[in-house]
Amino acid sequence: MLRIALFLATNFAIMIILTLVMSIISNVFGIQLGGYSRMLVISAVIGFAGALISLFMSKMMAKRSMGVHIIEQPSNATEQWLVSVVARQAKQAGIGMPEVGIFHAHDPNAFATGWNKNDALVAVSTGLLENMTQDEVEAVLAHEVSHVANGDMVTMTLIQGVVNTFVYFFAMIIGRFVDRVIFKNEEGVGIGYYITQMIAQIVLSFLASIIVMWFSRWREFRADAGGARLAGREKMIAALERLKQAHEPEELPAEMAAFGIHGGEWKKLFASHPPLDERIEALRRAA
């Protein structure tokens, strides 16, 4: 319900802004750009296509890009323990059993991905298994299972699709505006449109990423809270404290970064995760 409300609210807010912009262009500058519906449909197709394709291919991309070894039949005690913990947490969270995997990385990290909560993948790094206690690993797994249970992969895709749509749309509007006002091209589109559109897409995408990253940081707090419910608050705090002691984790690929466990970068507006101190403090306040 929250994801649907957020999706509708985002569209409503954007449509209000869109109406105001169109009104200003028409009334102040006397320019009738026309064809808005067609442009919006094209933008939506382009904007959502990339996000949806990425979502449906996320597990395959993760396995290949991260070299994830899927535990189909546990070959040792560690693998058996990982599968049993994820199975128990998935049952508690009310989701289907995710695939469980391990990827080679020196630093402690983990991520969850998949196109829906009943067909997900939870993977941990070898560095995480080597540098954390079982209680801490359990908390990290609970954090990732909570991402799945919260439907974060789908929500992020919806938000990214909406953002992409309006980045393309406003880039086309700006391109046409500049082409007609600056380059005086009254019929069709000229070189000014294409150049301006490309520049506008870059600038708007950069600004739009602030919105996406804000939501990414917000749902990290939710996943921490979910991890605390599944594994225990003290275990979740201990896991985050351990991450603070570790070296800065290696960056995950862009498509996995938003679902990893590590803390945010110093450029907070563009960080996918909040600082670890803030996450720990949030858990302590909740207690």
Catalytic residue numbers?
144
Angle at 49 between CA 152 and CA 211, to 5 degrees: 45
Cα-based distances in Å from 185 to 172, 174, 177, 181, 192: 15, 14, 10, 8, 9
SS3 at position 111: strand
For residue 14, report the phi and psi dihedrals to the nearest 5 degrees. -65, -40
233/141 Cα distance (integer angstroms) = 13
120/63 Cα distance (integer angstroms) = 12
> Token pair of 216, please?
């990414």
DSSP 260: B
Report the DSSP beta bridge partners of residue 121: 99, 113
Task: Burial-class residue 81 by CB neighbours within 10 Å (0-12, 13-18, 19+).
Answer: middle
Angle at 146 between CA 161 and CA 254, to 5 degrees: 45
Asked if residues 205 and 167 have their Cβ atoms less than 8 Å apart, the reply is yes
32/23 Cα distance (integer angstroms) = 10
DSSP 259: T
44/37 Cα distance (integer angstroms) = 10
